[in-house]
Structure 1
């Protein structure tokens, strides 16, 4: 009886761990995909951005 409970508990732990690992892997894949999309968009925005006008520093006023 005791051995059977231990086996069931071990099975439950294994299933829970497998589920945890699967969710972690899926989250990592999604994160990598979103990161790649973000970096591609930033690169495209940078390539298509108009050149910013260069401002001269303000001169100090004479008293």
Structure 2
């Protein structure tokens, strides 16, 4: 004897369609998050390289610049009351 599957009800068809759409939307959302994360990492890498270059330039300039001459502070005469 052969068992036949009953025809799916409209409710089960609708549920299956909702599940399929949710799975597709989830896959798109995960791909978008991964794409954004990659873009953020690339930008961070670019900014880090710029910062390191700026710091290296500042350090090189500090080594070449003569030491600043310390100025004497003017003495302030305080009035004792």
User: Could you say which TM-score interval applies, normalised by the shorter chain?
Assistant: 0.7 to 0.9
Give 2:48's match in structure 1, choosing from 24, 28, 35: 35
Equivalence for 2:27? 14
Match of 1:52 among 67, 71, 79: 67
Q: Identify unmatched segments of 5+ residues in structure 2.
A: 1-12, 71-81
TM-score in terms of structure 2 length: 0.61
Deviations for 1:25-60, whole angstroms, at most 9, x for unmatched residues?
A: 10010001000100001101111121435x8xxxxx
Instruction: Report runs of 4+ in structure 1 exceeding 4 Å deviation.
Output: none
Alpha-carbon distance between aligned partners in 2 of 1:9 and 1:33, rounded to the nearest angstrom: 36
The normalised TM-score by structure 1 is 0.76
Q: Secondary structure at the match of 2:67?
A: coil
Larger helix proportion of the pair: 1
